[in-house]
Amino acid sequence: MQEETKEAPGQIGVAPAFSLKRRIWLNIVLFVLTIFSTLFVGISLSLNFKYTEVIAQNNLSALDLVEKLKDPQVISLSIIYVVVLLGILLGHEMGHFLTCRYYKINATLPYFIPAPTLIGTFGAFIKIKSPITRKQQLFDIGVAGPLTGFILSVPALVYGLSLSKAVPPIARDEAFVYVFGEPLILKIFGAMIFKDIPPDYGVFLHPVAFAGWVGILVTALNLFPFGQLDGGHISYALFGKKSRNLTRFFLGVFIAMGIFFWVGWFIWAFLL
């Protein structure tokens, strides 16, 4: 999700030849752990998707839950969620990695971060081990990840929405149901696919749609012009030291939104 770099303002020099370390055991271990953490979330999403009404009515006993965990469709949906989500995140980071390789800049393979979150991961990042000597390189490396992630996320979102289902109000309160409003791209495609549903209905996202939504969210967050985020790299490549003014502006926007709309924006302002 974030990209660590050793680029320094105004640094000029000769980039060392690209080299890829053979010791990638940590990358592999973290990736495997992330598979399991996202699989756990995928199982939860898949159970809720297939048995929406039963779960909403609290008619699922512990024994029933164990039996439904054996459902081949639940298992397959869970695996699909993992593949789509990690595919999007991997594509994002490989966009950075391959651009680094194109410019012969030394960078690590992606490190995934397993986490017990609503999506099963804190994302992934690469480490850039050698200086970035030109702003064009910094721009291309910064933009390659979000562009690749977005290109992968949109088809997943659209296809997943086509597999999603409309649910009545009784099920909306107990499940992960999308009610058309935000984000804009979800509203547009959702309104096209579910244009005939009653206004009080919601749309229960298919696991593939949820993975696509996460991919778009990751892309959007990474484009904020802060520090080591992709947006920070792009902003510095375009505006140089003046990019700090853009950072201060967005920081002020986050604080204002925290005051007038949602206190969670204070957390984002602090983290970014």
Q: What is the pLDDT of residues 97-153, one digit of tens each?
A: 999 999 999 999 999 999 888 899 999 999 998 888 899 999 999 999 999 999 999
Is 8's pLDDT higher than 50? Answer: no
Q: How do residues 57-88 score in pLDDT, each as one tens digit?
A: 566 666 666 777 788 899 999 999 999 999 99
Report whether 48 contacts 55 (CB < 8 A).
Answer: yes
Half-sphere exposure of 3 (CA within 13 A, CB side): 37
CA dihedral 38, 43, 49, 51 (to 10 degrees): -170
Sign of CA dihedral 91, 32, 37, 177: positive
pLDDT of residue 197: 80
Residue 12 has what pLDDT? 35
Sign of CA dihedral 224, 137, 213, 36: negative
Measured from the Cβ of residue 272, the count of other Cβ atoms closer than 10 Å reads: 18
Q: Is the pLDDT of residue 4 over 80?
A: no
Residue 128 contacts residue 100 (beta carbons within 8 Å): yes
Q: 250-266, pLDDT tens digit by residue?
A: 777 778 877 777 666 66
Q: Picking from 27-36, 116-125, 177-186, 240-249, which range would have the lowest pLDDT averaged per residue?
A: 177-186
> Are the C-beta atoms of 44 and 168 separated by less than 8 Å?
no
CA distance 69 to 15: 52
pTM confidence score: 0.82
Amino acid making up residue 173 = D
At 214 the pLDDT is 92
Return the SS3 of 9: coil
Parallel, antiparallel or unpaired: strands 177-178 and 202-204: antiparallel
Model confidence pLDDT, tens digit, residues 117-129: 889 999 999 999 8
Dump pLDDT digits (tens) for 210-246: 999 999 988 988 888 877 788 888 888 888 777 777 7
Sheet holding 202-204, edge to edge: 165-167, 202-204, 177-178
Percentage of the chain exceeding pLDDT 90: 41
Give bridge partners of residue 125 from the DSSP assignment: 111
Tell me the pLDDT of the chain averaged across its residues: 81
